[in-house]
Amino acid sequence: MVMMNSLVIEGIGVQNWTYIIVGLTFTLYIGIAIWSRAGSTKEFYVAGGGVSPLANGMATAADWMSAASFISMAGIISFSGYDGAVYLMGWTGGYVLLALLLAPYLRKFGKFTVPDFIGDRYYSNTARLVGVICALIVSFTYVAGQMRGVGLVFSRFLEVDINTGVIIGMIIVLFYAVLGGMKGVTYTQVAQYCVLIFAFMVPAIFISIQMTGNPIPQLGFGDQLADGSGTYLLDKLDGLSTDLGFSEYTEGSKSLIDVFAITLALMVGTAGLPHVIVRFFTVKRVKDARKSAGIALLLITILYTTAPAVAVFARTNMIETVSNQPYADMPEWFKKWETTGLITFTDKNGDGLIQYVANETENELVVDNDIIVLANPEIAQLPDWVIALVAAGALAAALSTAAGLLLVISASVSHDLIKKIINPKISEKNELIAARLAAVAAVGVAGYFGINPPGFVAATVALAFGLAAASFFPAIILGIFYKKMNKEGAISGMVIGILSMLFYMTKFKFGWFGGGTQADWWFGISPEGFGTVAMALNFIVSIVIMRFTPEPPKAVQDLVENIRIPSNAGEATH
C-alpha cells in the first residue's frame, strides 16, 4: 500500500486525472486520424491493403474488444461464475474458425466487403442484397450498444449528462472514421489497443497482488489467499456463494445443452461478423491473413484470461464489503454508484444491514454487471490515476469497435448498394463521397440509439452473434468448401437462417408471436444459443435446395478453386 500511495500526486483527484488521461488519448486518436487520412476508395475500405500482420492483429483486437468485453464481461462472469465461460470460449474460439476456415480464402478472393464475396461467389445481386441487409442488421444492433457504453463512461467519470457523453463520442468517431476511413481507423485502433489493454491489466495486477500476493492475475485467482490462512481463493468464494444461497461459483446454473449452444453460437457468430472479417482484407498476402488472426487472438486472450480473474477478485471483495454490513458504513464508491442507479439498496427488513442473498424476496441489494470493472479499482482502493485509466480504456474499447462497425455500414451502402447494385458507373471520387456521407449518416443513427436506447439494445447486442451465425457463416463456409453450392441454395439458406433467428429472438425476448417463457424454449435452448440451431437450419436448407437446382457456372467453380490456392493474392479490387 505504501508503494501505491506514493504514486498518487496529492490533490489532483479522480476527475482531473480522468480529464487529463482521456484528453491525452483523444488528442492521440485525432492526431493519428489527420496523419493517416484516406485519399482513395481503396484506402477508405481496406487501408490500401498494405497493413502489416502485427498492426492488423492489434487493430483486429481493438476492433473486436468492445464496451461489452471491456466493461460488461468480467461483471457478467462475476455474477454467473462458471457459466461466464460461454463468453470466454465463445468469443475466442471463433478466431480459430476465422484463421482456419475463413480469413485466408476471403483475403485471396480479394474484394472489399463480405456482401462482395456473397454477391460474386453466388453470381447474383439478390444474394448481394441479402448480404447487405444481414450486414446492416448485425452492425446496427451492435453499434448502438457501443454508443451507450461511451455515454455511461462519460456520465460516471466526467459527471456530464449521458447524452452529452454520447455526443462527444459521436464527434470523435465521426472525425476519424469519416476522415481516415479504414486507414485512419486501423492506426487509431492500434493505439486504442495499447490504451485498453494497459488500462485493463494495471488494476488487475494490483488487485491480484493485494489478494493473493501473485502478480499474474491468471495464476492469482487459483492461488492461496495472501492472509496466510492457506485457503484457496476459489474455495473461499465457493463457500461465500453457497452461504448466501447462490450456486457454487465454479459450478454455475445453466443447463449443459444451453451452455453448449450459446458457446457454439458465439464462436460461429464471431467468425461471421462483417466488421471482424473485413479486417483480414487489409493485409498484403494470404499468409499475413493467417498470421494476423493468430496475433489478434493472442492479444485478445491477454484480456480474456484476465477477465475471469478480475471477476473472482471483485466478487469476493464485494461480498466481503457489503454482506451483512451496516448500510451507513458503506464506502464512498457505493454511494457514488447508487446515484447512477447501477446499485440499488432497499432495506426490506429495516435492520439497517445489507442482506445480499440469492433468495429474491429477502435480497436487498441489486448490483449492475457493468459496475464490476468500472468500480473495481475504487473497491480495491487503488490510486486515482488507475481509476481514470480505466475510464480511458473503456472509451478506447467502445470507440474502436464503433468505428469498425461504422465502416462496415458505410461500405455496405456506398460500395455494395450504390456501386454494385444501383449505379455501377459511379466514379471513384463520388463513391468516396458516398462512403463518407454514409458514415456520417450511420454515426447519426448510432448516436440516436445511444441517446434513446430502445429497451432491447442490451439484449440484441448478444443476439447480433446469433444473427451473424445464422446468416453469413454457412454461406461463406459453403462458398469456400463446397464448390457445387449454388445461388438458390445459399440465398434460401441465409433467408431462412436469419428469419428463424429473428423469429425466436422476438418471440422470447419481446413477446411477439405469442411470446413464451423459459419453459417454452425449444430443446431448452435460450435465444442467445438459438444461433446454433438457426445456423444448422441454414446449412440444411442450403444443401437440400442445391440438390434440386442447377449447379453454379463453370467460371464460379473455377473461382472457388482459385481462392483455395494462396499465391498471387494480388491487391483488393473493385
Partner 1 sequence: MSKNNAKAYWKENIRYVLILMFIWFIVSFGAGILFKDALNEFKVGGFKVGFWFAQQGSMYVFVLLIFVYVRLMNKLDKKYGYDE
What is the contact surface with partner 1 in residues (CB under 8 A)? 77, 82, 84-85, 88-89, 92-93, 95-96, 99-101, 104, 218-219, 221-224, 232-235, 250-251, 256, 259-260, 263-264, 285, 287, 290-291, 293-294, 297-298, 301, 304-305, 308, 561, 564-569
Distance in angstroms (rounded) separating the CA atoms of residues 269 and 252: 23
Question: Residue 573: which of 240, 18, 103, 109 has the closest Cα?
Answer: 109
Q: Quick check: 303 and 69 in contact, CB under 8 A? A: yes
- Nearest-5° angle of CA 511, CA 516, CA 518? 125
Nearer to partner 1, 453 or 566 (CB): 566
Q: Which residues of 452-477 are buried (b: 16+ CB within 10 A; e: fewer)?
A: ebeeebbbbbbbbbbbbbbbbbbbbb
* Cell numbers linked to 51: 497493413
Nearer to partner 1, 211 or 380 (CB): 211
Nearer to partner 1, 290 or 436 (CB): 290
Residue 552 DSSP code: P
Shortest Å distance, C-beta 353 to partner 1: 30
Residue 281 DSSP code: G
Distance in angstroms (rounded) separating the CA atoms of residues 476 and 294: 20
**Residue 353 phi/psi, 5° resolution?**
-100, 155
Shortest Å distance, C-beta 252 to partner 1: 9
Nearer to partner 1, 82 or 503 (CB): 82
Distance in angstroms (rounded) separating the CA atoms of residues 119 and 19: 47
- Long-range CB contact pairs, 2-5, < 8 A, 24+: 4/206, 4/382, 4/383, 5/383
Nearer to partner 1, 181 or 529 (CB): 529
Indicate the helix (H) or strand (E) that contains 144.
helix 125-157
Nearer to partner 1, 223 or 384 (CB): 223
Shortest Å distance, C-beta 350 to partner 1: 39
Q: Which residues pair with 90 in a beta bridge?
A: none
| DSSP codes joined into one string, 92-141 | HHHHHHIIIIIHHHHHHHT-SSHHHHHHHHTT-HHHHHHHHHHHHHHHHH
Distance in angstroms (rounded) separating the CA atoms of residues 86 and 234: 19
Shortest Å distance, C-beta 259 to partner 1: 6
Residue 456 three-state SS: coil
Distance in angstroms (rounded) separating the CA atoms of residues 398 and 143: 9
Say how many C-beta atoms besides its own lie within 10 A of residue 232's C-beta.
Answer: 15
Distance in angstroms (rounded) separating the CA atoms of residues 201 and 198: 5
Shortest Å distance, C-beta 96 to partner 1: 5
Secondary structure in 3-state letters for 307-374: HHHHHHHHHHHHHHHHCCCEHHHCCHHHHHHHHCCCEEECCCCCCCECCCCCCCCCCCEEECCCHHHH
Q: Quick check: 219 and 294 in contact, CB under 8 A? A: no
Question: Residue 194: which of 286, 61, 364 has the closest Cα?
Answer: 61
Residue 232 three-state SS: strand
Say how many C-beta atoms besides its own lie within 10 A of residue 47's C-beta.
Answer: 28
Residue 168 three-state SS: helix
Give Cα 508 to chain centroid, integer Å. 23
